Homo-oligomer: A and B are copies of this chain.
Amino acid sequence: MIANKKSVARLSRYKNALHRFKTMGLVRIFSDNLADAIGVTSSQVRKDFSVFGITGSKRGGYQIDDLFAQLNNILGKDQIQEVIIAGVGNIGAALLKYNGFEKEKIKIVAAFDIDAQKWSDTAPVPVYSLDRLIPFVNARGIKIGIIAVPESAAQMVFDRMVTSGIRGVLNFAPLRLRSPKQCVINSVNLVTELENVIFFSTSGQRIFLGELEADAGAHQVE
């Protein structure tokens, strides 16, 4: 199986579309429908499914319940994924307050900050001292972390996360993290994302629908 970032993102979008189809009362679905719903070709849908070992029935399409279950299984949604955040500033606090993770079986179980003013045992998601990150993650066996600290602190925080057993990081700090141990890093640079919009909308360069689309969600409509 050779998955890539884009194909995983598409699986997630198929799942969301599927959910909508299901609530509309549909029981089965065709690759064409999914393709239309998320804006790719039906070949792409079938190819993606093929890569992840998902099969349907010829002429019969896919049973929505079955497909939904398979996608959830592939995307690790059979169990709740526990996540921690480092940095309860603008971005960290925004993520903590967001209630859209729950329905994706993602649960932010704790946050850590160096600023004592941010600490709280009683908040919906407790905020602890950064010193408690390693023992907490260790004890709970947490594997996923979010970095929302200033750039200057990001590498140090990352190192602690890796030490504590974290194996995947979503990073918002605008730098390239380095690690001696294996760890998946997904860095989202919001400034760059905005710069991309500025570039393509002001350069007058013709971009094609789908060129940005499949990538990280960008597309051009007309």
Would you call B100 and A199 a contact (CB within 8 A)? no
Most buried by B among A188, A198, A219: A198
Copy number in this complex?
2
Q: Which of A173-222 contact B (CB under 8 A)?
A: 174, 176-203, 205, 207, 211-212, 215-222
Q: Please pick, from B39, B186, B194, the residue contacting A176 in the complex, using a CB distance under 8 A.
A: B39
A201 to chain B: closest residue by CB: B168
Contact residues in B for A193 (Cβ distance below 8 Å): 170, 186, 188
Contact residues in B for A218 (Cβ distance below 8 Å): 5, 184-187
User: Which of A53-61, A89-97, A114-122, A123-131 lies on the face that meets chain B?
Assistant: A89-97
Would you call B201 and A184 a contact (CB within 8 A)? yes
Q: Please pick, from B6, B91, B93, B183, the residue contacting A215 in the complex, using a CB distance under 8 A.
A: B6
Would you call B192 and A217 a contact (CB within 8 A)? yes
Contact residues in B for A97 (Cβ distance below 8 Å): 90
Q: Given A100-B191, A170-B194, A192-B9, check contact A201 B144 (CB 8 Å).
A: yes
> Can you show 8 pairs from A to B with CB atoms below 8 A apart?
A4-B207, A75-B198, A91-B94, A106-B195, A169-B197, A170-B193, A180-B222, A186-B196
